[in-house]
Amino acid sequence: MTKLLILLVLVLGILTIAQLARVYELTSRLRGTREEDISPSDNRMNGRLMMLFLIAYFGFFLWLVVAYKDRMLPISASEHGVETDWLMNFNWVILLIAFVLTNVLLFYFSYKYLYSPSRRSFWQPHNNKLELIWTIIPAAVLAVIIIYGLNTWNKITDHPGADALQVELYAKQFDWTARYPGADGMLGATDFRLINGTNPLGIATPESVEGRLAEIDEEIGVIEQGLGAVLPDARIDELSDQADRLRRHKQRILNLRTVMQNDITVNGAASPYLAGADDIVTKDFYLPLHQEVEILIRSRDVIHSVYIPHMRSQMNAVPGMTTRLKMVPIITTDSMRTHVMKNDAFDFLVLCNKICGSSHYNMQMPLIVTKGAEYDVWLAEQMKKPFQGAPENATADAAAPATQENTGTADAQKAPAGMN
Amino acid sequence: MGATTTAHSGHHGHEAHHHHQESFISKWIFSQDHKMIGKQFLVTAIFMAWVAVIMSLIFRLQLAWPGEGFAFTNFFLGEKWAPGGVLDPNMYLALVTIHGTIMVFFVLTGGLSGTFANLLIPLQVGARDMASGFINMLSYWFFFLSSMVMLASLFVEGGPASSGWTVYPPLSALPQTIPGSGAGMTLWLVSMTLFIASSLMGGLNYVVTILNLRTRGMRMTRLPLTMWAIFITAVLGVLSFPVLLSAALLLLMDRTMGTSFYLSEIHVAGEALDHMGGSPILFQHLFWFLGHPEVYIVLLPALGITSEIISTNARKPIFGYRAMIGSILAIGFLSFIVWGHHMFITGMNPFLGSVFVFTTLLIAIPSAVKVFNYITTLWRGNIVLTPAMLFSIGLVATFIAGGLTGIILADSALDINVHDTYFVVAHFHIVMGMSAIFGMFAGIYHWFPKMYGRMMNTKLGYAHFWVTFVCAFGVFFPMHFIGLAGAPRRYYSYTEFTMFDGVMDLNVLVTIFAIVGALAQVVFTYNFFYSIWRGPKAVQNPWRSNTLEWTTPVEHLHGNWPGPIPTVYRWPYDYSKPGKEEDFVPQNVPIEEGEEEH
């Protein structure tokens, strides 16, 4: 009912304005003035409104800054972020000067030089000196912005150091999975065709390849058995398509097996196909303090984006390729909670920042930064855990953890609570 | 229909143009007269704009009061997409997508260029009509068809395209990933294909007409800045839209024929797909190769229109005419080598990123020159604040506010942390959305008498401007702060974590401003349609302007001028020229003895 009333008021309001305008139009027609003749009083009123707007505009801006400055992102929790923030502030200073200057001139002139029949405009088609000055000044200022900007950019995107910790973040609709190298300190190779319930990241090891081949054979067998029955044509086509696709995949996996075997022969223990067996696949994302990390980012289905606002870090997750970002966390989750945010529920979050489907808005994972020793303890615990989707368990008994794997965001949300 | 092809008469040929007796269809529907085609574009664009505005209101309601039911939402979307008035998350993404598509392409490209290029080119360069009236007519009808297909896509199973107006694959390629990537996406691609065809036909016509059909004396350096802006816009469109067409066709093939241009190593809905070897990044390169020039396709006509209106209403020559042309050319050229700044964090080579930082920040120089020149034009002018003038000044204000934040986004190191957040939403809505729509409003108020022979109501124009202007900043300014708090765009709600709780009250403020702003557009729409039939009759040159369109009679006629086409003797900005009695000297007035040409 109130909504109806609001609607009614709005409609009446608009009608009133329209009618007033008509009345005005009729009276001005009677007075003999034309619509295009802007009366001095109208001109003055609009000129004053220009000045009023300028004041309101700056006032609004100031209010937003004052009222919301504490609700912006807190100090950067990563090393490069400190520099990013400095660069941002440096840019803001320049931009604010330009912003105030141009707006004041624009609105002031619109108020000051209103039409008067007794006056003529200043005849000034151009002024080369002036134009040169305001081409050169922005150019010089921009040169400074570009140099500082690219300097920071080069540092951020430079190769990580040799002792950087490598961690993988794996995106799929609509959750994140982290993968840590096991005792060998090396992440194993992967292939998307090996993905199944027990191997959600498609880690390629001799065991997972054999397991997947056996699984495909089994699936083909089931389909062929099904084709033996009397079925409608459409269903037969569908099933044989499915079987064909599986056979194609099988062939590709056989190729992969050959590549893998060659690699193992050539590289021996250094082969990435032997490194995956002890990888730790987890829904918890931990990083050690003051340690440079290189995050390798992959996606299973569509483009996602790893966005960690508190770290000033972002990189897309693109299916078919591995992207990278590096950073050095400099504040632990605990100190953020006690010293910076004064909020015990605070967590660093990895958010998805590339539109990826219906639950895009809820594709998050907490990030826990701890001191190195605590991180080591956590990592050791992870190694002891029965591996969720480990290749050695791939065939038989890992079915239970695998289903857990698929529950997605619900798990990710529970994780921090479990930590406390 | 055949009787209407009079464009060839050009500047020489048969002068006396009699009013042809035209059938209803050839006059009102399949018209080949550029003025009628311009009006057709405008009315279609106003309708499409309303569709997009209502969509934005629906998702703004959800963002301000997430999860609450609204009769408004339910009324438009029904129980399927808004059970109990609560917006469905997939529909949210669909609305965001179609709102962007309609606004960028149908309102600010088709609507803005289509209206003013068609209306103004022959009138301002002094031609009887476009180079090809027939292709011009086709251009409108392809646009109309494309609008209809886009609207039809709203009603298919699975909803319209939902992968954002940038339709990045694989999301847009695989219906398994989002329902909108089914029939809705196919229709989106069909509609865009028609749209591109329309814009190419229009663009070629604009370029050819401006280059070849200028009247005697209309040198390129005497062209009004509107013409320069539209000319460069048309060139940009002709060079960049075909790339979008190829991107769309490749996407269509990936969707329907099993090719792998954009797809590789994808495992979705429990199965590994066959696609191998493609790259989603390829699509982004192709898309933004159009997408960035597109920003200027939207913006340049608005800047051109504004140059004209500011000069006319400041009764002062536009300051630095040649610098203005130079900056249009520079912006046009640079706009082709900056597209990568949309892709800093896609995994593109960081060195390539630095090149794009450099070229992008270069654009700030000609843009700054334009702003300074506008401000200097106002300095010591004799300003008449018509509604058109107000919108033009408004454009300069939004161009400043949005342009400056562009410097942050162009700086790749800073872009990392604001990329795809509300900061970007604020930036492009102000610099491209608001500026362009203000330019469009300015143009409508200014050339309404030329279009319909009547005047729009000034008081309603004032009310429209001030409410719109205040609301534009009320809506988009706070979004910078939401973005700086780290809030990603295209989120259905922000209630799943506490991180952004501090700035969510701004969303309520934004939505209130959006509602009020939309109401102001009711005032405009009313004023527009009422004035078409009932507005006071216009005189020939109501704004005492110099350009050629005001030398044509108020009543439209085919071929524009009843007698010979006027000859041009001077540039269009002889306002308040010393030694002249009037404060304007139209372009067709010969240079007097001893008078210098500006």
pLDDT recorded at residue B21: 63
pLDDT recorded at residue B37: 95
**A51–B contact, CB cutoff 8 A:** no
d(CA B323, CA A255): 63
pLDDT recorded at residue A386: 57
Chain B nearest-CA distance from A232, in A, is: 24
Chain A nearest-CA distance from B18, in A, is: 30
Phi, psi of B461 (to 5 degrees): -60, -45
**A142–B contact, CB cutoff 8 A:** yes
pLDDT recorded at residue A1: 66
Residues from chain B that touch A156, judged by Cβ atoms under 8 A, are 413, 416
Contact B350 A157 (CB under 8 A): yes
- Indicate the pLDDT class of residue A233, thresholds 50, 70 and 90: confident
Residues of chain B with pLDDT > 90, as a percent, come to 89
d(CA B218, CA B569): 8
Mutate to test the interface with B, among A126, A173, A212, A337 (most CBs of B within 10 A): A126
Q: Residue B220's Cα: distance from chain center in Å?
A: 24
Average pLDDT in the B108-122 region?
A: 95
pLDDT of B394 strictly over 90: yes
Provide the chain A residues 262-291 that lie in CB contact (below 8 A) with chain B: none
The b/e string for B188-205 (b: 16+ C-beta within 10 A; e otherwise) is bbbbbbbbbbbbbbbbbb
Contact B477 A113 (CB under 8 A): no
Residue of A nearest to B479 (CA): A64
Q: Are B558 and B549 in contact (CB under 8 A)?
A: no
> Tokens standing for B351?
């060195």
Average pLDDT in the B12-38 region?
A: 71
Chain B nearest-CA distance from A416, in A, is: 12
Pairing mode, if any, of strands A293-299 and A323-327?
antiparallel
Least Cα distance to A168 among A312, A310, A275 occurs for A275
pLDDT recorded at residue A33: 80
Least Cα distance to B286 among B262, B264, B263 occurs for B262
**A99–B contact, CB cutoff 8 A:** yes
pLDDT of B8 strictly over 80: no
Per-residue pLDDT reduced to its tens digit, A294-321: 999 999 999 999 999 999 999 999 999 9
Q: Which of A407-411, B148-152, B172-176 has the lowest mean pLDDT?
A: A407-411
Peptide bond into B170 cis (omega under 30): yes
Orientation angle between helical segments B387-410 and B458-484, nearest 10 degrees: 10
Contact A72 B481 (CB under 8 A): yes
Helix (H, G, I), strand (E, B) or coil at B96: helix
**A101–B contact, CB cutoff 8 A:** no
> Tokens standing for A161?
């150091």
Residue whose token pair is 């100190």: A335
Rounded to the nearest integer, the mean pLDDT of chain B is: 93
Per-residue pLDDT reduced to its tens digit, B39-96: 999 999 999 999 999 999 999 999 999 999 999 999 999 999 999 999 999 999 999 9
pLDDT recorded at residue A418: 34
* Option in A43, A121, A307 nearest B315 (CB): A121
Residue whose token pair is 């299916």: A319
The C-alpha R_g of chain A, in whole angstroms, comes to 32
- Indicate the pLDDT class of residue B196, thresholds 50, 70 and 90: very high
Phi, psi of A295 (to 5 degrees): -95, 120
pLDDT recorded at residue B407: 95
Q: What is the pTM of this model?
A: 0.92
Pairing mode, if any, of strands A364-370 and A348-352?
antiparallel
pLDDT recorded at residue B197: 96
- Indicate the pLDDT class of residue A183, thresholds 50, 70 and 90: confident
Contact A88 B369 (CB under 8 A): no
pLDDT recorded at residue B286: 96
pLDDT recorded at residue B30: 85
Per-residue pLDDT reduced to its tens digit, A210-224: 999 999 999 999 998
pLDDT of B5 strictly over 90: no
Average pLDDT in the A56-81 region?
A: 95
Contact A361 B493 (CB under 8 A): yes
pLDDT recorded at residue B556: 87
Q: If you ran DSSP here, which 8-state letter would residue A18 be given?
A: H
Q: If you ran DSSP here, which 8-state letter would residue A241 be given?
A: H
d(CA A56, CA A66): 15
Average pLDDT in the B245-274 region?
A: 93
Average pLDDT in the A359-379 region?
A: 95
The residues that bridge with A196 in the sheet, in sequence order, are A199
If 0-12 CB within 10 Å is exposed, 13-18 middle and 19+ buried, where does residue B76 land? middle
pLDDT of A275 strictly over 50: yes
pLDDT of B461 strictly over 80: yes
Contact A106 B397 (CB under 8 A): yes
Average pLDDT in the B551-558 region?
A: 91
What size, in residues, is chain A? 420
Q: If you ran DSSP here, which 8-state letter would residue B28 be given?
A: I
- The residue ranking higher by pLDDT, B46 or A33, is B46
**A38–B contact, CB cutoff 8 A:** yes
- Indicate the pLDDT class of residue B557, thresholds 50, 70 and 90: confident
pLDDT recorded at residue A417: 36
Peptide bond into A174 cis (omega under 30): yes
- Indicate the pLDDT class of residue A397, thresholds 50, 70 and 90: very low
d(CA B143, CA A362): 38
d(CA B375, CA B576): 18
pLDDT recorded at residue B269: 87
Greatest mean pLDDT among A388-392, A412-416, B272-276, B505-509 lies in B505-509
Least Cα distance to B585 among B538, B541, B543, B544 occurs for B544
What size, in residues, is chain B? 598
**A23–B contact, CB cutoff 8 A:** no
pLDDT recorded at residue A212: 94
pLDDT recorded at residue A116: 92
- Indicate the pLDDT class of residue B1, thresholds 50, 70 and 90: very low
* Option in B268, B357, B384 nearest A146 (CB): B357
pLDDT of B26 strictly over 50: yes
Residues from chain B that touch A16, judged by Cβ atoms under 8 A, are none
Q: If you ran DSSP here, which 8-state letter would residue B429 be given?
A: I
Contact B420 A43 (CB under 8 A): no
Q: Are B577 and B585 in contact (CB under 8 A)?
A: yes
pLDDT recorded at residue A229: 82
pLDDT recorded at residue B3: 40
Average pLDDT in the A246-259 region?
A: 94
Give B135-139's long-range contacts (Cβ < 8 A, gap of 24+). Answer: B135/B201, B135/B204, B135/B205, B136/B32, B136/B34, B136/B37, B136/B201, B136/B202, B136/B205, B137/B30, B137/B31, B137/B32, B137/B37, B138/B198, B138/B201, B139/B37, B139/B114, B139/B198, B139/B199, B139/B201, B139/B202, B139/B205
Contact A122 B381 (CB under 8 A): yes
Q: Which of A411-415, B97-101, B482-486 has the lowest mean pLDDT?
A: A411-415
Per-residue pLDDT reduced to its tens digit, B405-436: 999 999 999 999 999 999 999 999 999 999 99
pLDDT recorded at residue B130: 94
Contact A320 B265 (CB under 8 A): yes
Contact A116 B382 (CB under 8 A): yes
A3: left (phi over 0), alpha (psi -120 to 50) or beta: alpha
Mutate to test the interface with A, among B288, B455, B459 (most CBs of A within 10 A): B459
- The residue ranking higher by pLDDT, A26 or B590, is B590
pLDDT of B392 strictly over 70: yes
pLDDT recorded at residue B57: 96
> Tokens standing for B118?
């068609």
pLDDT recorded at residue A416: 37
Average pLDDT in the B243-264 region?
A: 94
Contact A125 B317 (CB under 8 A): yes
Which residues have a Cβ under 8 Å from the Cβ of A48 and sit 6 or more positions away?
Answer: A111
Q: Which of A284-293, A344-353, B553-562 has the lowest mean pLDDT?
A: B553-562
Which helix (H) or strand (E) segment holds residue B272: the answer is: strand B271-272
- Indicate the pLDDT class of residue A399, thresholds 50, 70 and 90: very low
Residues from chain A that touch B515, judged by Cβ atoms under 8 A, are none
Mutate to test the interface with B, among A16, A20, A26, A35 (most CBs of B within 10 A): A35
Residues of chain B with pLDDT > 70, as a percent, come to 96
Contact A130 B386 (CB under 8 A): no
- Count other C-beta atoms under 10 Å from residue B288's C-beta: 23
Helix (H, G, I), strand (E, B) or coil at A420: coil
Pairing mode, if any, of strands A304-308 and A313-317?
antiparallel
- Indicate the pLDDT class of residue B190, thresholds 50, 70 and 90: very high
**A63–B contact, CB cutoff 8 A:** no
Chain B nearest-CA distance from A126, in A, is: 4
pLDDT of B283 strictly over 50: yes
Average pLDDT in the B242-247 region?
A: 95
Q: Are A191 and A250 in contact (CB under 8 A)?
A: no
d(CA B260, CA B254): 6
pLDDT of B571 strictly over 50: yes
pLDDT of B161 strictly over 90: yes
pLDDT of B515 strictly over 60: yes
Please give the interface size between A and B, counted as residue pairs whose CB atoms are below 8 Å apart.
375
Average pLDDT in the B239-244 region?
A: 95
Residue whose token pair is 């701004």: B506
Residues from chain A that touch B177, judged by Cβ atoms under 8 A, are 173, 301-302, 356-357
Residues from chain B that touch A18, judged by Cβ atoms under 8 A, are 460, 523, 526, 530
Contact A121 B381 (CB under 8 A): yes
